[in-house]
Amino acid sequence: MPWICTPAFPAGCAPGVRSGPWFDPGMQDEPVPLAVTRRRLDPGATDRIPLHGRENFAYVITGSAAALASPEAEGEQFTLGPESVLWLTGCDQMSAHAGQDGLDLLVAEATGLDPDIPPVPMRKAFAAAELPHLASTRDTRDRLDLVTENVPVGARAVRADRIIYHPGDTAAPHYHTDSYHVFCVLTGSGLLHAGGEANRLTAPDSALVGPGEVHWFENDTGENFSFAEFWAPPPAETIWTVTGDRCTWAPAG
């Protein structure tokens, strides 16, 4: 059965900042090597965000920011806009100063690497236009790769994308043999089919599907349904359970 949660994002420790866990292993009993937080900043607010993962990244849901990583490199500052990604390894903190449109930020921390092997420091920002944008060949779904083999950061502990289900879209049933699958709903409402049941997810719900658990999504509403999805660790194999039915993707035109 999937685990489903409706998290809260209370006031943070800094003025104009609201933050909270979107997904954390402590929320349930599975040893998932991933934590996801949401940080909402008022215009002009600054947030200092501790990073505990071996691989970390930030995804801008909406808004804009100037960002720095700690320890800082000389002259290093990143400008973040809507649907941009900031990849960070070898860092213990990032700071974000929201622009005049505020900032809604997702921060993911992947912990599933050997703690005795220091990560190779890397800080790299990708504008939305620099990330792979894909379209489903099965229906009308829209996908933006955040951290995949097609995003050149050498990620080993996590994979992630942002996906939009338009009204009527549905994925093919499948499971991952060796990977936890985490979903953080950004907008709208849809059905997560898993455990023999249809489970309603509505923003800002989060959900977890374990290794070997058959699942798929369906948008049964008249509005778009979108979420960020994570695999931790990245799956070695995905099994499609209905002969001849699978999800495939092509570059968006």
DSSP 27: G
Domain boundary among 94, 115, 130: 130
Show the CA angle centred on residue 2, arms to residues 232 and 138, nearest 5°.
Answer: 75
Q: pTM of the entire structure?
A: 0.96
The upper half-sphere exposure of residue 118, i.e. CA atoms within 13 Å in the direction of its Cβ, equals 6
Is the domain of 84 the same as that of 126?
A: yes
CA distances from residue 179 to 153, 211, 231, 235 in whole angstroms, order as listed: 20, 5, 6, 5
Residue 193 sits in a domain of what CATH number? 2.60.120.10
**Residue 151 confidence (pLDDT):** 97
Each residue's pLDDT tens digit, 60-73: 999 999 999 988 76
Q: For the chain, how many structural domains are there in total?
A: 2
Contact (CB, 8 A) for 188 and 126? no
Give residue-wise pLDDT tens across range 169-221.
Answer: 999 999 999 999 999 999 999 999 998 899 999 999 999 999 999 999 999 99
202, 85: one domain: no
Q: Are residues 147 and 124 in the same domain?
A: no
pLDDT digits (tens, 9 = 90+) for 128-163: 999 999 999 999 999 999 999 999 999 999 999 999
CA neighbor of 230 nearest in space, from 191, 186, 169, 184: 184
Residue-range definition of the domain harbouring residue 226: 133-251
Task: Give yes or no: residues 139 and 124 share one domain.
Answer: no
